[in-house]
Structure 1
Amino acid sequence: MLVENDASAGSTAKSPRLALPPPTAIRPVLVWRLILGVLLVALLAGLAWADFGSARPGLMMSPLAIAGAFLSAGELVRLFENNHQTPAPSRYLVVPGAVATVLASLAPSFWPFGEMPGAALTGRVGWVAIGLAASCFVVFCAEMRRYREPGSATTRLALAIFGIAYAGGLMGFVAQLRLLAGGPWGQDGRWGMLALLSLIVVVKSNDIGAYFTGRMWGRTKLAPVLSPGKTWEGAAGGFALSTVATMATLGPLADLLGCDSHRTPAAWLGGCLSYAALVGAAGVAGDLAVSLLKRDAQLKNSSTWMPGFGGVLDLLDSILFAAPVAFLMWITRCVGP
């Protein structure tokens, strides 16, 4: 703890005071975070509004998923490259593989000739798996061609496949949330829009609630080695705010979008509580997962081009981890129609 001893004219010293950091040391980061945060929210809101009226659900928002996979995969490779104890995979394999996985998950919805062959048998998640399998095949072929001597091929293969699965496979689940349609979901994609927005709202409200609660009342460390700033008190505050946000999303916002769940009040409330708890917890785990990767690479941020946020991976880490959990809860009808 930094202290100041303010000596008087004599030999008696006054009580020590906390030496607070100058406001100028904090202000630029907060300003950039506010500016970029407002711009990102405006971009998301604009694309969501345009996509909601699109003839093909997800068409207007798919570039966000593709860009997210592209940038996240590149930042993962940067983390691998900074860890000099292991050989890093080629970004020219990881980045295209992640993007290809997302494109495969979107393929059935944007197939221009009616229903895509095999789409009904493959199912929603099957195309994500197909994209992953194809990308893994390409990575193996590239390493076989590259191989000269033992000692590094297996590590590069493992890291490349991990990067593709993380940045591309998990982003594929984000895309699948938007593409929920057919059967009880209707054909116009409004439930898919609600599912996607619920994921983002729950995860980010959990982050905000945990941050402010932890700053004010946080005492008990949640993960002192990986993320010293996280506390159990903050986690409780994050759950409280995400619960309120879930109820607002699956209540008034659902009514605004024309989504009527026909659930009893008790079933609706139980779904909101379980959704906020499980999706929020998955988001916290995703944040800690990227903290693990950054600490192992001895880097503070996944990138440096987004002042106040660090990088795209720092922005998307909680969403990527929470997406499969949210998708499972929607398709099992824990929430929704």
Structure 2
Amino acid sequence: MFKQRLITALVLAPLMIGGIFFLPIEQFAYFIGFIVTVAAWEWANLSGYTSPLVRIGYAVLVAASTFVTGYCMAKHAELASLILAIGAFWWLIASVLVMQYPKKVALWQARPVRAVLGLLVLIPMWVGFMTLKSQEHSSLIIVYVMLLIWGADTGAYFAGKTWGKAKLAPSVSPGKSWAGFWGGLATTGLIAVIFSLCVHQWLRPMTMADFALLAVMTFITAIISVMGDLVESMMKRHRGIKDSSQLLPGHGGVLDRIDSMASAVPVFAFFMLLFGWQLAL
């Protein structure tokens, strides 16, 4: 299992790094669109649709939605803010559903409802990535969001392993603990401090107000990234499956790798637009 995970990671990491750093924005749109389309094929299964034709049809629907969304955003730039706001609002609702699982299952267990929820997860993620990519120093911003996600996950793992007795959401993911949650937040706080110092040193002056705003964006994004993981766990538990698919040997499916990104990226992008935060002066 470890060998499979290592080989898969060694293949995927260069592809993701290359996509972030070297693809122009138009090719980047197709790159993220492809990831979203594969994730949609897996989400159809989470929604309860097992027919190959239905799953492919749902993936095509999501792919077409990203294309139409991109076309409309080119004509109406303010559409991005609206889609990201809808996505951020969904993650607030999702947080409530996760913490109350399985009490509120009746609200979302119908297959069409779960399919619609997939659109609220995947389309804002694509828009979020495109919003970040359109910023000056876009690669640095995207890498920062990735570091927040990985930092929250890594900090949660070590803190949870050491002190994790009180469970965060035992009905959804018994392995996650409150100690892990706070450990993840502490790690992302450290990343925010280091990032701010680097920006202050090499890009532009960072005032206390700049740092405070980045800290707020960082902590909220880190919290929501945990919700992304828990929402997918909730869907898989309800569906009775362990992984979203077996496409990535040793890692499960694409959704299993991007669940935290699906929540963190649109939320961070939304706050960037809302507060006008950017790396350039």
State the TM bucket, normalised to the shorter chain.
Answer: 0.7 to 0.9
More helix by share: 2
Aligned match of 2:162: 216
CA distance in 2, matches of 1:235, 1:127: 28
Q: How does 1:104-123 map to 2 (within 5 A)?
A: 104-107=68-71, 116=74, 118-120=75-77, 122-123=78-79
**Map of 1:164-183 to 2, 5 A cutoff?**
164-180=119-135
Q: How much has 1:128 moved relative to structure 2?
A: 8.0
User: Number of residue pairs matched?
Assistant: 255
Distance in structure 2 (CA, Å) of the matches to 1:127 and 1:221 = 33
Change (3 A) 1:268 1:35: farther
Does the CA contact (< 8 Å) of 2:229 and 2:260 recur in 1?
Answer: yes
* Larger RCO (CA within 8 A; separation ≥ 6): 2
Superposition deviation, residue 303 in structure 1: 0.9
- Using the TM superposition, give the Cα deviation of residue 156 of structure 1 relative to its aligned residue in structure 2, in angstroms: 5.3
Q: 1:263 aligns with which of 203, 206, 222?
A: 206
Sort the Cα spacing of 1:41 and 1:245 in 2 relative to 1 into closer, same or farther, 3 A: farther
Q: CA deviation at 1:286?
A: 0.7
CA distance in 1, matches of 2:196, 2:5: 28
Residue of 45, 51, 55 corresponding to 1:91: 55
The yes-or-no answer on 1:32 pairing with 2:4 is yes
Residue equivalent to 1:152: none
- Matched to 1:222, the amino acid is L
1:25 is matched with which residue?
none
The answer to whether the Cα contact below 8 Å between 2:196 and 2:211 also exists between their aligned partners in 1 is no
**Match of residue 100 from structure 2:** none
Change in CA separation of 1:157 and 1:280 when aligned onto 2, cut-off 3 Å: same
Asked if structure 2 preserves the Cα contact closer than 8 Å seen for 1:205 and 1:241, the reply is yes
Q: Percent identity?
A: 25
How far residue 96 of structure 1 moved from its aligned partner, in angstroms, is: 1.6
In the alignment, residue 54 of structure 2 is paired with which amino acid?
S
SS at match of 1:101: helix
| Structure 2 SS opposite 1:308 | coil
Matches within 5 A, 1:188-337: 189-190=136-137, 192-252=138-198, 259-260=203-204, 262-264=205-207, 266-333=208-275, 335-337=277-279
Give CA-to-partner distance per residue, 1:267-323, whole Å, 9 cap, x none: 233233212210000000111100110000000111122233211111111111122
Q: TM-score, normalised by structure 2?
A: 0.78
Would you say the 8 A contact 2:36–2:126 is kept in 1?
Answer: yes
> How far apart are the structure 2 equivalents of 1:160 and 1:224?
25
Structure 1 segments unaligned to the other structure (5+ residues): 1-27, 110-115, 130-154, 181-188
| 1:12-91 alignment runs, 5 A limit | 28=1, 30-51=2-23, 54=24, 58-81=25-48, 90-91=54-55
Query: What residue ranges of structure 2 are gaps of 5+ in the alignment?
Result: 86-109
Tell me, yes or no, if the aligned pair for 1:89 and 1:159 is still in contact at 8 Å. Answer: no
Query: Which of these two proteins has the greater Rg computed from alpha carbons?
Result: 1
